[in-house]
Every structure is written in C-alpha cells, then in structure tokens.
Structure 1
C-alpha cells in the first residue's frame, strides 16, 4: 500500500470511529440529559418511604399520568427518606439536571422554602404535592385537610356512641408539626371533638409508629388504663404503634382512628383493633399533580384545576386543587378501598384475618 492510499484508509477509519463514538454517546445518554435538552423533564420529590403510599401508589400513578399526557416527557424521582436536609440537596440536584418543573411533597414545609426559591430563580416551576410547602409555589394539590381531621373526630365520636361525654378521656396523637397538614388535621379533629369529650392527653407522634407507641404508653401511665375511652391517631402508621401499646397494656375495645387507608390499617379495622381510617384516593391526587406539572411545563393555564386559593406558611397565595376525603369503617371497606381497587379482598383477608373478614362480609 502506497503512502497516499495509507492516508486515505487511516482518514476514513478515523471518521468512522468518530461517528461510532458519537452514536454510542447519544445512545448512552441518561434520561436526565436527554430530557434536559428537550425541556421535557419533571422532578418528583416525595418525603419518605416509611409511609406505604408514596412508593406503592403516588410515584407510579404520577409517572403513568405524565406519560399519558406527554409521551416525550421524563420523570426524575427522589425520596427524602424523612430527611429534610436530604430533600434540600435533592432539589439542588434537580436544578443541576435541568428539570423544568418540580413536584414536591415537603418533608419540612418551612425548611424547604429557600430551596424552592432557588429553583424558581432558575426558572423552574414548583408544584406542592399533598403538603403545602412554603415559598413561591405555582400550584398545590391535596385534600381538604381540615375536613380529614373532622372526619377522624366524627368517626371517633360515632364509635364511642353513648360514651361520648365531656367526662370521657381521649388521647390525641398528632402528626409532625413540620408538616403543615398535621396542624390542619389537628384543627379539624378539635373542631369535631372539643366540648363533646375530654382531651386528656395530646402529643405529637412525629408520624412515627415507635414515637406514637411511646406517647401512648406515657398517656396510659398518666391517665390509667381503665380511664381511656378512645384514641385519636392522625394516621395509620402511628395507629399501628398505638395499637401495640394498647394491647401491651391490656386495653381493648376502644376506638382508634387513623388516616391513609394503609393495608395494615384496613386489616386492623377488620380485626377490630382500629375503628376507622380516612381514605384519600391517591390516583386522583397523583393524576392532578401530573396534569398541573405538564400544563406548567407547556405554559398552559391550570385555572380549571386550581379552583381555590390557600395561603402558605410563608404568606404566599397558592392556586390550589383540593380533593374530597372519605371516612372508612368496617361497614364501607367494600364500597371504598376495595371498589377503587386500592386493596383487593385477598390482600386484606390473609389467613390471619380470614375469620374476621367473613364476619365483616368481605368475600
């Protein structure tokens, strides 16, 4: 091969290799890189993995709805693991990735304010999901949280029946004050309970079953096992810890509320160790959040979805979409969570609950 031909062959090979490398680089790009360049990336930040709903329902429902509304959109997901500092870092990561909209359920609504401001400063729109975060939020979707508390309180009164008197001692285990919803649940519950029963002990369980169990044990020590007529628990996770503490103290047959319609909570209702929960249908909430996010990404109005306005802890007026919660007792499990396919009868009625399910008419 002469020198000229050698140069042609080498040059051709070099061009071929360059094209091959470029093609491989494109195929190997991450979804965040490609979505950033196409301006179709949405960040989803959820607060913890202890609460069953977020990983099992909210995340997949949200992703499915985004894909249905926007076939070339991608969702970047992160879970804070109940760590507010970690969630702040996750917002920074989303900014770096170039997402155009962030949907966030704040682990700490006040602490996340500066992170949200940073995102907005970069031109990113923020949707508050389930919990109203502080800062310049473009939209908020959740349930009527005061109504949730009212439903919980009323369910407790209904379960107490004739024992619902001003002398009846009630224990209240509230949620984490870092979550703005907790204050609304508490306000709604007090609206229903105040003047009708005696709130003899009230503490925060921080949304943790272990802390709730400790608080319940302290209440039993303070009030006496025989003097507690019922227990308000702000959610099902804490109700699990409370139920364990009640059983350990030999207390049974008293009302215990909850929230979120978690499988364990529904099973306790069937078994009679929890009297009620509040069902907040996850799919409509996640679907609405996805629609809000896609509209913001595409510069469309959300006025048909955000039919009310709420004021956050930072004083920001936030266009809001509020959905309707439903109280669940043994009597309407079939017509609520089973009908909506949140849980199936076989999932609820495992061997340990088979007899109780039969008695409750779940087949």
Structure 2
C-alpha cells in the first residue's frame, strides 16, 4: 500500500481588507473578478449522491476554517463535459486564483485547464486525475479501491469462488481515469479465481448498468451467474433491481462510495459490500492544498506521492486509504464516522433487517 500523508495542520493566513465572501451557487456570477482570495470548486455530476451532500459542504467549511475571508465559487457539470469547460471559462472570468476540479472527462478538460494555468490559476485535480498542467491531485488509492471490491466479492462467494464461477463486471465510465484504476485493481483480485464471463461499462449510470445486467442475464442465464462486480453504489442499485426482476437473489454484489442506499441494501442483503472513501478527509485535504497554493505556500509535506496523468504530466499527489464495508463493520465505519446515523439507515422498510444486523 502506498504511504499516505494527510495534512491536518491549520494554515495561519494574514488578514487583508477584503470582505468575507460566502460560497457561490452553481453558475452564479459572483462578482469576484480580481478577488485575490477566490477558490473555484467544479464537481462533475449531480447524480452521484456524495458531491452535493458531502464533498461541497465539507470543502467549503474547511476553506472557511482555514481562511475566513476566502470565497468559494461552485459549479456542477451535471454530467456534461462541455458544460464543465464553460464553467472553467466562467471561473477564469470571475478571477479565481485556485481551481479545484473533479473532471467529468479527464482528457476533454485538458485544454480548459491549460487556459486556466495560462492565466496564472493553480489547478488541483480532485478525486479524478485530470490531464494537463495541474499543480496537485488529491484522491484515494484507486487501484486499492478496486482490489478491495474484488476481494470482497471473492470473500462473499466463499467456497463458490472457483474458476468455473461466472461473474459479471459492470465497470465505470472510461472517460473517468478512476474507472480504469478500479477495474485494474478488481482484476488483480478476481483474475484466475473466477470466470469473468461478461464485462461492460455502465457509464456510472444506474439505468445503463441495469441494461447491461439484463443483457448479461440473457447471455449467461440467470441461474449461471455467481456474483456481480459493480464499480459503484449508484450502478449497484440499478443492477439490484434487475436481479430482483429476474428472480435472482442471494448472490454477491459489490459497490463503492458508501451511499446511504448502498448501505441499506447491504443491511437488507441485496448488496454484499461497498467501499467507504471518507469524504471529509478528502475534501479537507483539497481545501488545505487550495489555501496553501493561494497563499504561495509549499505543498511538499501534503502531496508526498507522484502520479503520472493521462497527458504524461507528473503530478504531486495526496492519496488516502479506502475501507471495505460489509454488514459486519457498518457500525465501525460509516456510523462511527457519523456519515449516517442508525436512524437514517434503519427506516421502517429496513427495521427488521437492521435489528437482525445489530443496528438499533
């Protein structure tokens, strides 16, 4: 496992006469052109639960904690790479000094990042390693994420994990470099231990994943599928519905992101595992990097790894450690970290399953 260093020290910033700004809304004009303490935050889609519920508020709160007169300008690409490129242009016009971006399409955003850098803006790749001259990258060890997913599937299969056991793999969107790393890690865990009989991309969409699962059932036969690798919880939801509709139950189904619905499916037994990537440490790390870069401070003690992006750029990187979550450790992970309360997980529909799982 790679060595991980997470910066937690607060940054002391000299006060200026600038007024304290508040976080901007999606695509707001902001009126911040020339503001010397403006940080832009661009997130990729509104479908994945984590971005609006966790990443944005955690990032904004940490920036405010580190720099009480900093302003955060926010926009969400809603799954549209072209829209995200326009949002970068808007951030340049608004006068942001640092841009934190989780790329909808890591290759397509390269020219936009170059335009920002040409204007003297420092760019941080968040969660997904964008191409182009970015100053830093913060994410999780994504190959390790895939390994955890694959191993969780093997563990759930138990003595059914044989080279004759047919497994379906529904991977993420190829435009997201993380998807390839998840896939790489999963294959490390699965290859040679099971038969990956059907493998397709679900594009990070539950509807597409459901369609691909339906095709896999048609091709392989419902009774012949031993387990399913789904690269995230959103797709796992679509797959779980398809399996239920086909009368398939009791087989392992992976996920990722520890979404509330995914945790509830784990409690109910329709999903076997997810991967918890603690959102607050990641958002906090990005905020610390952003404030350091805004103030011209070193990030050497924060971004201690070096990764190579798809464009060949060597990027100082800060990598955090993911955790596999099954029914056995929900209490010790997402509940302990106050990501969710027992009450949020154990709604009326899951009351009996929660009691059986010891969540009360």
Measured after TM superposition, the shift of residue 38 of structure 1 is: 3.8
User: What corresponds to 2:268 in structure 1?
Assistant: 271
What is the CA deviation profile of residues 147-175 of structure 1, one whole-angstrom value per residue up to 9, with x for unaligned ones? 00000000000000000000000000000
User: What corresponds to 1:108 in structure 2?
Assistant: 105
| Larger Rg belongs to | 1
User: What corresponds to 1:135 in structure 2?
Assistant: 132
What is the CA deviation profile of residues 165-196 of structure 1, one whole-angstrom value per residue up to 9, with x for unaligned ones? 00000000000000000000000000000000
Contact 2:38/2:95 (CA < 8 Å) preserved in 1? yes
Contact 1:45/1:104 (CA < 8 Å) preserved in 2? yes
User: What corresponds to 1:15 in structure 2?
Assistant: none
User: What corresponds to 1:315 in structure 2?
Assistant: 312
Taking structure 1 as the reference length, the TM-score comes to 0.91
User: What corresponds to 2:237 in structure 1?
Assistant: 240
CA distance in 2, matches of 1:324, 1:33: 35
Answering whether residue 180 of structure 2 is matched by residue 183 of structure 1, we say: yes
* Aligned residue pairs, count: 338
Single out whichever of 47-56 and 37-46 deviates more from structure 2.
37-46
Contact 1:35/1:73 (CA < 8 Å) preserved in 2? no
SS at 2:257's partner residue? Answer: coil
Equivalences for residues 1-363 of structure 1 within 5 A: 35-363=32-360
**What is the RMSD of the two structures over their aligned residues, measured on CA atoms?**
1.6
Structure 1 gaps, min length 5? 1-25
Measured after TM superposition, the shift of residue 36 of structure 1 is: 3.9
Taking structure 2 as the reference length, the TM-score comes to 0.92
Change (3 A) 1:325 1:28: closer
Contact 2:20/2:70 (CA < 8 Å) preserved in 1? no
SS at 1:176's partner residue? Answer: coil
Measured after TM superposition, the shift of residue 34 of structure 1 is: 6.4
Structure 2 gaps, min length 5? 1-18
Change (3 A) 1:29 1:182: closer
Change (3 A) 1:118 1:354: same
CA distance in 2, matches of 1:280, 1:269: 16
Higher relative contact order (CA 8 A, sep 6+): 2
Measured after TM superposition, the shift of residue 29 of structure 1 is: 12
What is the CA deviation profile of residues 19-64 of structure 1, one whole-angstrom value per residue up to 9, with x for unaligned ones? xxxxxxx999997766544400000000001000000000000000
What is the CA deviation profile of residues 254-286 of structure 1, one whole-angstrom value per residue up to 9, with x for unaligned ones? 000000000000000000000000000000000
